[in-house]
Structure formats: structure tokens, C-alpha cells
Structure 1
Amino acid sequence: MPVLEPGVVRAFAAEWIEAWNAHDIEHILGHYTEDVEFSSPFVASIAGEPSGVLKGKAALRAYWTKALAMLPDLRFELIDVLSGAGFVTLYYRGHRGTVAETFSLDASRKVRFATSCYSVERRGQPPCA
């Protein structure tokens, strides 16, 4: 995929943050393909998947529904947006400190793969800390 236009990248970031801050699971999932793959160091503790990888929207829906129930005051604050050839990285602040989440977008600009990296200073805390 070619490099995304800055306006497209900024719009994706704003919509993604807005969906999360609204705790609107369907709006959040609207950014992802049906066969999405998602990795996070918290998948094992929250979803019970030791590989740290979830596959498909149904798995994401279950994971994020549980996570949002555990964190009713969850809010993200966007710090920066980075763009690459078909990739977008959002650098934001959440309840665990700073996070960098990288998304691989398909031709329809839906997320096909995403991975989350958390500040090592806060990562060792319990999932709802």
C-alpha cells in the first residue's frame, strides 16, 4: 500500500481515539477487517490466549468488551501520529502510561493487523490498574 495522505492518517487517528473514548465497541470494530490479527502483551491475561495474538473481529469484540468493562473510566489522549507505507502508528497516553499502537491498513483503509506496545514502566501492573 502506498504512503497514506496526512489527512487520511489524521482522520483515522481522530476517529479511532473518539471511538475508544466513547467506549463504542461497534465504532471501534468498524476500523478493522473481519480477519484482523491483533497482538498485545495483555491478551494472555485478559483473553487467556497465551500467544498474545487474537484473530478475527469476534475475538476482538470479546476481548475489548471485557477490557472496557474492567476500565469504565478509560480515556486515551493522542500524543502523535506517525505514518509509513500502509502503516499508521498512534502514540497516545492511556491508563497504563504511554502506548504505541501500529496498524497495517488494507486497500480499503481498514486495519488488517495491529500490535500494541506499552511503556515498560507501567506494563507489569495488573490489567485494570
Structure 2
Amino acid sequence: MGRSAVLVVDDDDDFRALVRLHLVASGFEVEEADSGEGALELVETSPPALVLSDLRMGGMDGAEVRERLARSHPDLPVFVWSALPTRAPSVMRKGLQALESVIAEHRETLLAQRSAQRSAQSSAQHSRRADTA
């Protein structure tokens, strides 16, 4: 995953795909988890730059994900949302607007992290080429 990725956590495959589509169209790398437990595992192996999580999920909910990540990764921003079925279209529109504001707020940080990551990868490749020459 890496520090330039956004981790989307939701047990609803369709909503997760919608958020992924929106983020990818905005130029972000996206990783997905379909549960709170899965999100914690992914964060431990490769922390993202930002976590976006549904509140209401089976098993560990988004509030618990946020609490655990606040303890284990205090500098990791976590945004938690919820959509109620009776107002889903309206909530999804508002949720995407809120998501856009979170993206705008963290865009420069995410882009700087992505640039640093690419620079490090390029330096490593150049170093390997020099070693084999």
C-alpha cells in the first residue's frame, strides 16, 4: 500500500467501489478492506496516508477502527462516515462532498508523499544499476 495510498474500509462492496472510482479518478492510489479487522491488518503491514471508513459494519465498526488507529498510529488521519438506507442517495451525495473536502485538505500531503516515494524508488533503481555495471 504505502504512505501515498488511501485505505477505503466498508463492508458494502458497491459503496467501496464507488469511493474507489472517485479517488482513482482524482489521482490517488487506493487499497480496500471489507472489514475493520482487515483494515487494521493492512495498516500494520503498510500504513496508508489516509483511512476512509464506514461507521456501521459487521464485526468491528468504524468507530472502533478509528479508536484503535488513534492509539497505534496517532498521526494517521481517519475519516468515518455512515449512510442510512432510507436516505442513501442523499447521504451518499453529502458523503462524497465531505470526501472531496477531506481529499482537498490532504491532497498536498498525499502528493508530496507520493513524490518522495517515487524519488526513493528511482534512487534505489539507479543504485542497483550502478552496482551491476
Same fold (TM over 0.5): no
The structure that is strand-richer by fraction is 1
Q: TM-score w.r.t. structure 1 length?
A: 0.28
